[in-house]
Structure 1
């Protein structure tokens, strides 16, 4: 793991120049360490200790000029960690007075990813103070880190993240291309070679930020939210400055939002079940973003030895923290505990 965490040496002047022309960006890419990723379409490039697809890295660098405001809220995560769900919840919480009639709510006909855009694709004229990103904490624009913006970070068992990502990338691979096996993908993931990875470093970057500024960084555990969503939704609303009134709580507003944004409800909507989108020359069904959302689905794909390999890295990385250990108990096989 240590060998892949060494980042490419660069300076701020070079980063600024990269924003000017694609040619200079291609030259920059040519000097970055590269590694085959889980999809045959793109290699991954190592930048500041994190692995990116080239087009994603271009967005990360372009985002560095973003001028965040103290009122902005950033929803952060690794891919396949609950991003879609968090977007839906945050959007519904912030706009609940505007869209009080849930029977005609935008989420019924619009993807959560279209309700809240990614920072890497954002402009400065967003209607809502809500943006999402997969960028690790240490690579966020300086205006976010120093400007007092709120950050909400959701994370999930690395075993489920890995399995979900493997399925997603297979769906994003052209039919005439060859997918790598689950075993090959696991080898890369364990080495940290995954989009926006290593997984463990990404989680720890936000955990450390939370320890330093708990008033600005909220950590949400996917499994806790799935098992008992109401307290997490209330906590989320309080943290981002849109708390529920006593009257709203008495009228069941939290439960209504949980029901609207539930995996079961969103995954069954036509916009998320039947419609498609063009993504980098690949046509993807929107349902690819709603596979299962199940806690412990990794048990249907990983052998005990494969799970133990991921657990061992988690023990090494998360030991001494208050993060979930996500270790596979030999008796319950799939439950997770806290360190």
Structure 2
């Protein structure tokens, strides 16, 4: 049973509108990852506050064919992919790297989340005004599963870039991230063992992770011109190839002259983990009231999970990955 301290984590429900609150109270509810309650909504687990934002997004967002959406499971390369996408699309507007927006703004400020930035804490009317003023092509971010995206996104010709990451590394990064937030808010942290069990059950934000991956993978196979499906590990292995692939997918391929002039290398360096982590814009300041910008830059490594997970944990998650993703074509290295 959850403690009194744990129960207080569900106080976000008090700030929800009455109609939405009644819906939420009718949903299956479980105590999950990061000492918080999750509700099973439209086939995935999420928090009460997120449900209200997602409903507003679904009801009001009007996609344009020129829009670009960066979709991810949390902690799977979101910040990096947002930065790369922004730099690729806007390379003609900010050809000089001395005054590039990524030098003075966090990628999440330049590429806002639907459910975390645009449709939260403000009414949809204000969000609509903000959207009308955005420079096109508009670039957005989301953790929402494909089937729950706004109807206008699924029916338009806008582009979606999806990235997934080895669940072992995703879990470790997610656990570290949530505990930093808890400590910053003087809230109780969660143990690695407890959160691992919740993660394996799918009891985490937009979980289960396997359903999230498979939903976008299925659509990418059916509509390869609409959804580009990437793996974090592949980007790390050959970033030059994938930057060119992203540009081609978005309809703005690099010219031979750009390649010769080092434009691709400049974008890669600008968006590199080392570069972004060292910027003052990513060292101080807060996003969404509780997310210190520095939290988004921990290690960015492949295989760091070996320093955290026991052999029994590795065996358990390996079996889940094999069972849930078997036959999909998605595979991850589970050897140290």
TM-score w.r.t. the length of structure 2 is 0.88
Q: Quote the offset at 1:116 in angstroms.
A: 0.8
Aligned residue for 2:40, secondary structure, equals strand
Alignment of 1:192-231 (within 5 A): 192-231=202-241
What residue is the counterpart of 2:142 in the other structure? 133
Aligned residue for 2:98, secondary structure, equals helix
Between the aligned partners of 1:127 and 1:26, the Cα distance in structure 2 is: 35
Alignment of 1:229-240 (within 5 A): 229-240=239-250
Alignment of 1:1-12 (within 5 A): none
1:89 paired to 2:89: no
Between the aligned partners of 2:259 and 2:109, the Cα distance in structure 1 is: 28
Between the aligned partners of 1:96 and 1:176, the Cα distance in structure 2 is: 41
What residue is the counterpart of 1:61 in the other structure? 55
Q: 1:294 aligns with which of 285, 288, 301?
A: 301
What residue is the counterpart of 2:123 in the other structure? none
Alignment of 1:66-81 (within 5 A): 66-81=61-76
What residue is the counterpart of 2:11 in the other structure? none
Between the aligned partners of 1:249 and 1:157, the Cα distance in structure 2 is: 31
CA contact (8 A) 2:166 2:333 kept: no
Between the aligned partners of 2:67 and 2:104, the Cα distance in structure 1 is: 25
What residue is the counterpart of 1:105 in the other structure? 100
Larger RCO (CA under 8 A, 6+ residues apart): 2
Q: Quote the offset at 1:313 in angstroms.
A: 0.7
Aligned residue for 1:242, secondary structure, equals coil
Q: 1:232 to 1:195 in 2, by over 3 A?
A: same
Residues 254-286 of structure 1, C-alpha deviations (whole Å, 9 max, x = no match): 01100000011001111112x121645x4x431
Between the aligned partners of 1:278 and 1:209, the Cα distance in structure 2 is: 31
Q: 2:111 aligns with which of 116, 122, 127?
A: 116
Residues 119-155 of structure 1, C-alpha deviations (whole Å, 9 max, x = no match): 2233432223211110000101111111122111011
Q: 1:97 to 1:43 in 2, by over 3 A?
A: same
**Number of aligned residues:** 305
What residue is the counterpart of 2:334 in the other structure? 328
Between the aligned partners of 1:67 and 1:177, the Cα distance in structure 2 is: 38
CA contact (8 A) 1:308 1:328 kept: no
CA contact (8 A) 2:214 2:328 kept: no
RMSD: 1.4
Aligned residue for 1:292, secondary structure, equals coil
Give the unaligned 5+ runs of structure 1.
1-20, 334-339
Between the aligned partners of 1:202 and 1:291, the Cα distance in structure 2 is: 24
Residues 229-257 of structure 1, C-alpha deviations (whole Å, 9 max, x = no match): 00000000110112111100111110110
Give the unaligned 5+ runs of structure 2.
1-15, 119-127
TM-score w.r.t. the length of structure 1 is 0.87
Q: Which has the higher helix share?
A: 2
Between the aligned partners of 2:243 and 2:333, the Cα distance in structure 1 is: 26
CA contact (8 A) 2:180 2:295 kept: yes
Q: 1:312 aligns with which of 319, 326, 329?
A: 319
1:154 paired to 2:160: no
1:241 paired to 2:251: yes
